[in-house]
Amino acid sequence: MNGHGPARTTAGTATDETALRTTLLDTLRAMGAARLNVGTAGNASVRLDGGDMLITPSGVPAERCRPEDMAVMAADGSRRGALAPSSEWQLHRDIYAAFPAAGAVLHAHAPFATALACQRQEIPPFHYMIARFGGSTVRCARYATFGTQALSDATTAALQDRNACLLANHGMVVFGRDLEHALALAIEFETLCEQYWRTLQIGTPVLLSAAEMDEVIERFRWYGKARKA
């Protein structure tokens, strides 16, 4: 990431949007560098004031994208920009509508997350860091064709009380308070997916109990409040 701040715009100014375009492109390229995406797979977006979002274009490799290629999408599906938005724009739009805390959304076909998603497995509490994503499991959304309202509906259902989920036979989705936070969560989630995948090669993992996970979740809440104080 470069020095441009990834926070939401505060007044919808041209300067704010220009900075976010650069930061969104930086994020898309960072997803590739972190091996979350290859080629034109995956997409990212950031919330703008007034209900709009800025989203990566469809079918253009990150290395060929320019800041001006990022598309502005309104909630009604109208867009501003020379290139078509990602085919998953509905998914991003509906996450913003359903979760006010979402400032940025990342969707990736990361190798280990996708391997688990192709088994349609939720990730159980094999490690306490599962709580980083909002609960004692990370769910796997039911399968639906890419770019459809059905996929959007399945994703928002799987994200209830969570900030990450798998998409059956597809990949992963995470959201964060801004682009920097969402990228960090996506990398951390893929790392957990790899750890779970490797654990399964050894045998059935010993899972943390509900009481143990409840304690971890409470500690995460306490640390979150302490950081905001």
From the candidates 17, 63, 68, 88, which is the catalytic residue? 88
Closest to 168 in 3D by CA, of 150, 182, 186, 185:
150
Strand order in the sheet with 171-176: 79-80, 71-73, 53-55, 43-47, 104-108, 171-176, 164-167, 140-141
DSSP assignment string, 35-84: TS--TT--EEEEE-GGG-EEEPBSS--GGG--GGGPEEE-TTS-EESSSP
190 is catalytic: no
Active site residues: 88
